[in-house]
Amino acid sequence: MSFAGILLTLLQGAGYTLLVTLACAATALVVGLGIAIARELGGAWLSTLLSAVVYVLRGVPMLVLLFIIFFGLPGVGLDVPPLLAMMLSLGLISGAYLSEVFRGSLAAINPNEVLAAQSMGFSRLATLRLIKLPQMARFAVPGMVNELTTVLKFSPFAYTVGIPEITKQAMALVATTMRGIEIYAAIGLLYFGIYRLLLAAVRLIEKRYSIPGFAQE
Amino acid sequence: MIRRRKLLASFVLGLALITAGGCSKGQTSKVINVAVTPASPPNLFEENGQTKGLDYDLFDGYCKARGCTLNITAYDFQGMLGAVVSRKADVAFSGISITEPRKQVMDFSKPYMDNDWDLVSMKSRNLKLANLDTLKNYTIGFPRGAAYMDFIKTKLEPKGIYSTDKAKLYPSYNEALTDLQNGQVDLVFLDGTVASVYRKKLPIQDTYVFAGIDKLGFAFPKGSALRVDFDKYLDELGPQKRQAIIDKWMK
């Protein structure tokens, strides 16, 4: 089998790798944003509770949480499908990290702008929606790209719960050909390709919503 | 804006369908959910995207006889066993050894073949052990979740022959054998069946063979009615036909 043949075989799993990455990244975005907004709008007790949740999620190994959800929950009658298990483990953990990225981005907003909005009679919700979130989203792009990359690199764990992504194809191929070095090199190339693809998509979105002179790197 | 919302709604709906339907329990009672690890030739492997092997032929024969279809999901070795224990799979097979600790959490079919365990090394090292006295001088690698760990713990460690903390664990045989070639581990534990395949592909040799200590079986969730019926099928098949299937893959 040629190197191109190896790449083609591994490509059969690339769709699942992309699916897992996008599904988990979407979950992380919703969770991270939810936590950041709740911290802004909720009271002190909610903020403390969410900080505790983030603290725990950031400390739990991803594989352990995945096994608890996928193999453990059926023991109490909750059968979680593989992709949902990935979203509830990798997505949640990544969401906790993203919430911290958003917290930092919110803190970077000029407090005078918030003060000006309040003096104009903006409600807390309106201040968040119209002043804070649009700026936060732009400040947070580098941190979000980092987290998206982390999600992509953790996606091979999907194989342990039966999702036939790139790593699964590679394991099956190595078992019959024993050409480990070439196959692992091909995996590296494919992941790099997917990373560049995702990065290009993020850059496009960033460019579409960029404001000249604001939050430029 | 409406188009964008429709696009988002389609993505969410598609995701929901995949999440709810993907790799879950069978749609009809005739579908059997199977967990395998496709890195255990000749018992179970993939070729050109097709699942093949000795174990597959045996269970496929059962399914043809009973008119059912297989919904196969590939895991790593530990995940495959976990799928049976958590009842996500109705059966698992990929050269699974029948061991006492496993029998506590899952049921096994009648043994379908006897198996040796081979400690293999690179031919270039010309490593041969007449007995186990010097085994502790070498590092041994094998897949995580494999039965070798229990064997070392219960049989070798109490006699001072080897200790579990010296063993190196890998995701599958692939990585263990790659590390053997790289010289990072001295010996690798292989199932006799698996060794028969890799001896043809790699410059490895048997350093020591634990003969006749292992039996392979199909793993089912505790209390599985499928196991009872599969045992009946093995009886119907008879030892000669079963041996013919084994020989087809071992030769």
Residues of A in contact with B15 (CB under 8 A): 23, 26
Same domain, B163 and B239: no
Same domain, B120 and B206: yes
**How close A160 gets to chain B, by Cα (Å)?**
5
B63 assigned to some structural domain: yes
Q: How confident is the model at residue A175 (pLDDT cuts 50, 70, 90)?
A: confident
CA dihedral for B209, B215, B216, B221, sign (positive or negative): negative
Q: Is B157 exposed, middle or buried (0-12, 13-18, 19+ CB in 10 A)?
A: middle
Q: Is B239 exposed, middle or buried (0-12, 13-18, 19+ CB in 10 A)?
A: exposed
Same domain, B132 and B86: no
Range of the domain at B192: 115-215
- Count the neighbouring beta carbons within 10 Å of the beta carbon of residue B165: 7
Residue A189 has pLDDT above 50, yes or no: yes
Q: B163 versus A177: which is more confidently predicted?
A: B163
CB contact under 8 A, B18 and A168: no
Residue B24 has pLDDT above 70, yes or no: no
Q: Which domains does chain A have, with CATH numbers?
A: 3-208 (1.10.3720.10)
Residue B3 has pLDDT above 70, yes or no: no
**How close B243 gets to chain A, by Cα (Å)?**
23
CA distance B118 to B146: 14
CB contact under 8 A, A162 and B25: no
Nearest chain B residue to A66 by CA distance is B79
pLDDT, average across residues A87-112: 96
pLDDT digits (tens, 9 = 90+) for B102-143: 999 999 999 999 989 999 999 999 999 988 999 999 999 998
B16 assigned to some structural domain: no
pLDDT digits (tens, 9 = 90+) for A106-142: 999 999 999 999 999 999 999 999 999 999 999 999 9
Same domain, B226 and B210: no
Of A23, A162, A176, the CB nearest to B75: A162
Q: What is the CATH number of the domain that holds B239?
A: 3.40.190.10
CB contact under 8 A, B75 and A159: yes
Same domain, B102 and B70: yes
CA distance A123 to A132: 12
Q: How confident is the model at residue A53 (pLDDT cuts 50, 70, 90)?
A: very high
B47 assigned to some structural domain: yes
**How many separate domains does chain B show?**
2
**How close A128 gets to chain B, by Cα (Å)?**
22
The alpha carbon of residue B21 and the mean position of all alpha carbons in its chain are separated, in whole angstroms, by: 26
pLDDT (0 to 100) of residue B1: 47
B179 assigned to some structural domain: yes
Express as a percent the part of chain B with pLDDT over 70.
88
CA distance B64 to B197: 27
Mutate to test the interface with A, among B43, B86, B180 (most CBs of A within 10 A): B86
Same domain, B131 and B170: yes
**How close A15 gets to chain B, by Cα (Å)?**
13
B142: left (phi over 0), alpha (psi -120 to 50) or beta: beta
Nearest chain A residue to B199 by CA distance is A178
pLDDT, average across residues B156-177: 91
| Model confidence, pTM | 0.79
pLDDT (0 to 100) of residue B5: 56
pLDDT (0 to 100) of residue B17: 40
Question: Could you tell me which residues come within 8 angstroms of residue A173 by beta carbon, excluding any fewer than 6 positions away?
Answer: A6, A9, A10, A179, A183, B46
Q: How confident is the model at residue B15 (pLDDT cuts 50, 70, 90)?
A: very low
Same domain, B104 and B225: yes
B17 assigned to some structural domain: no
Same domain, B36 and B82: yes
pLDDT (0 to 100) of residue A94: 97
Report helix, strand or coil for A49. helix
Same domain, B108 and B125: no
Interface of A with B in 118-157 (CB under 8 A): none
Same domain, B100 and B142: no
Mean pLDDT, chain A, rounded, equals: 92
pLDDT (0 to 100) of residue B13: 45
CB contact under 8 A, B172 and A19: no
Residues of A in contact with B19 (CB under 8 A): 23, 81, 83-84, 87
pLDDT, average across residues A31-45: 93
Work out whether strand B113-122 and strand B204-220 pair parallel, antiparallel, or are unpaired.
antiparallel
pLDDT, average across residues A13-30: 96
Residue given tokens 């996606």 in the structure block: A155
Residue B18 has pLDDT above 90, yes or no: no
Beta bridge partners of B33: B71
Residues of A in contact with B83 (CB under 8 A): 71, 162
Residue B23 has pLDDT above 60, yes or no: no
pLDDT (0 to 100) of residue B237: 94
CB contact under 8 A, A180 and B178: yes
B31 assigned to some structural domain: yes
CA distance A105 to A121: 24
* Distance spanning both ends of chain A, measured CA to CA: 45
- List residues of B whose CB lies inside 8 A of any A CB: 15, 18-25, 35, 38-41, 45-47, 49, 73-76, 78-79, 82-83, 85-88, 171-175, 177-178, 198, 201-202
Residue B225 has pLDDT above 90, yes or no: yes
Structure tokens at B122: 């690179």
What is the SS3 string spanning chain B? Answer: CHHHHHHHHHHHHHHHHHHHHCCCCCCCCCEEEEEECCEECCCEEEECCEEECHHHHHHHHHHHHHCCEEEEEECCHHHHHHHHHCCCCCEEEEEEECCHHHHCCCEECCCCEEEEEEEEEEHHHCCCCCCCCCHHHCCEEEECCCCHHHHHHHHHCCCCCCCHHHEEEECCHHHHHHHHHCCCCCEEEEEHHHHHHHHHHCCEEEEEEEEEEEEEEEEECCCCHHHHHHHHHHHHHHHHHHHHHHHHHHC
Q: How confident is the model at residue B7 (pLDDT cuts 50, 70, 90)?
A: very low
**How close A162 gets to chain B, by Cα (Å)?**
5
Backbone φ and ψ for B50, nearest 5 degrees, come out as: -100, 135
pLDDT, average across residues A136-155: 93
B15 assigned to some structural domain: no
CA distance A62 to A64: 5
Residues of B in contact with A160 (CB under 8 A): 75-76, 78-79
Cβ contact B72:B51 at 8 Å: yes
Inter-helix orientation angle A3-41/A92-107, to 10°: 60
Q: Within an 8 Å CB–CB cutoff, is residue A82 touching chain B?
A: yes
B18 assigned to some structural domain: no
pLDDT (0 to 100) of residue B175: 87
pLDDT, average across residues B26-41: 79
Same domain, B38 and B104: yes
pLDDT (0 to 100) of residue A109: 94
Same domain, B63 and B128: no
CB contact under 8 A, A176 and B45: yes
Q: How confident is the model at residue B4 (pLDDT cuts 50, 70, 90)?
A: low
Question: Could you tell me which residues come within 8 angstroms of residue A175 by beta carbon, excluding any fewer than 6 positions away?
Answer: B38, B39, B40, B41, B45, B46, B172, B173, B174
